[in-house]
Amino acid sequence: MVAAPLSIAELIQQAQARLWQSESARLDAELLLGKVLGKSRSYLLTWPERGVNAAQQQQFEQFISAREQGQPVAYLLGEREFWSLPLAVDNSTLIPRPDTEHLVEAALALDLPECAQVIDLGCGSGAIALALKSERPQWQVLALERDARAVALAQRNAQRLQLDVTVIQSDWFSALTLQPQFHAVVSNPPYIDAADPHLQQGDVRFEPRSALVAAQQGLADLAQLISQAPHYLRSGGWLLLEHGWQQGQAVRALFQQRGYTQVSSQRDYAKLERITLGQWVGE
């Protein structure tokens, strides 16, 4: 017996019920059905009674089962928007977060030369580097990343978006010559403590630990970047780091101990300390 084709509205309704554990069940269902049909959400809303063929229903079923298991929607879609840029994403790296747009805003607010040299460390999908390049086409933006698959992903995003950002595989600064060449160093490094219970919840469960977790209560990579950046910053150059909302005080102390000036933290949309920056003027 051949099952009757279900309509767009019926499929979304059924999927929404199955995805009750997701805070965005209906949106998830709409985005995933849109991906299967190659249509926008507004198409789904305009034509709710249209039938969906068996092959498409089967593909949608696979997506919904994966989402029921907790797979992030961004990984299933293979895409996430950041700074209005459609970025390809995969499980080699973090799904870019809206919070990180604060780091981009803070870097753009700096008084840098027109052709500034800027580096993004641990670039993942390339989110920060590509956002900066899209806003400041004259800047020379370099992006470094340790994971080979994430390097390929960031390179693909740069090509797709036709943004001239060079992406290089590197363990933090190791691929660079020891030279004070940058006007700004930006990074959203791993900063979560390995014992943090949030690692067992939501999308984070499916993201690589190497993109999330750092030793010393999450401070090890932040400390390393704060310590090493002065070797690569021009006098007057800035280091900008994203960190956990409870790490502001510890991160400011690390900046001050290393000798940065104008050290300050900035808050995110939820009014939590999310980024810290400092200027390097020399020893």
Ligand X SMILES: C[S@@+](CC[C@H](N)C(=O)[O-])C[C@H]1O[C@@H](n2cnc3c(N)ncnc32)[C@H](O)[C@@H]1O
Residue closer to ligand X (CB basis): 34 or 244: 244
What is the spatial distance between Cα 281 and Cα 283, in angstroms, rounded to a whole number? Answer: 7
Q: How far is the CB of 123 from ligand X (least distance, A)?
A: 5
Residue 241 DSSP SS3 = strand
Q: How far is the CB of 58 from ligand X (least distance, A)?
A: 33
Q: Quick check: 206 binds ligand X (CB under 6 A)? A: no
Q: Quick check: 156 binds ligand X (CB under 6 A)? A: no
- Tokens describing residue 198: 């949030």
What is the spatial distance between Cα 180 and Cα 281, in angstroms, rounded to a whole number? Answer: 11
Q: Quick check: 155 binds ligand X (CB under 6 A)? A: no
What is the spatial distance between Cα 207 and Cα 115, in angstroms, rounded to a whole number? Answer: 35
Residue closer to ligand X (CB basis): 8 or 211: 211
Residue 227 DSSP SS3 = helix
Q: Quick check: 210 binds ligand X (CB under 6 A)? A: yes
Residue closer to ligand X (CB basis): 123 or 163: 123
Q: Quick check: 123 binds ligand X (CB under 6 A)? A: yes
The alpha-helical segments, DSSP class H, found in 91-189 are 101-108, 127-135, 148-160
Among the residue ranges 10-18, 144-152, 229-237, 253-261, the one whose residues contact ligand X (CB under 6 A): 144-152
Neighbours of 259 (CB within 10 A): 12
Q: Quick check: 101 binds ligand X (CB under 6 A)? A: no
Q: Quick check: 275 binds ligand X (CB under 6 A)? A: no
- Give the residue, chosen from 157, 188, 247, 265, that forms a contact with ligand X under the rule CB under 6 A: 188
Neighbours of 45 (CB within 10 A): 12
Binding to ligand X in span 17-36, by CB under 6 A: none
Phi, psi angle pair for 201, to nearest 5°: -125, 145
Residue closer to ligand X (CB basis): 16 or 125: 125
Residue partners of 248: CB distance under 8 A and separation at least 6:
265, 273, 276
- Give the residue, chosen from 49, 111, 171, 283, that forms a contact with ligand X under the rule CB under 6 A: 171
What is the spatial distance between Cα 221 and Cα 217, in angstroms, rounded to a whole number? Answer: 10
Pairing of strands 79-82, 85-88: antiparallel
Residue 186 DSSP SS3 = strand
- Give the residue, chosen from 36, 52, 119, 128, that forms a contact with ligand X under the rule CB under 6 A: 128
- Give the residue, chosen from 72, 124, 218, 248, that forms a contact with ligand X under the rule CB under 6 A: 124
Among the residue ranges 34-42, 56-64, 94-102, 231-239, the one whose residues contact ligand X (CB under 6 A): 94-102
Binding mask 38-77 for ligand X (x = CB under 6 A): ----------------------------------------
Nearest to 266 by CA among 82, 102, 124, 54: 102
Residue partners of 191: CB distance under 8 A and separation at least 6:
214, 218, 219, 221, 222, 242, 243, 244, 247
- Give the residue, chosen from 29, 85, 94, 229, that forms a contact with ligand X under the rule CB under 6 A: 94
Q: Rule CB under 6 A: which residues touch ligand X?
A: 93-94, 96, 100, 122-125, 127-128, 144-147, 150, 171-172, 188-190, 210-211
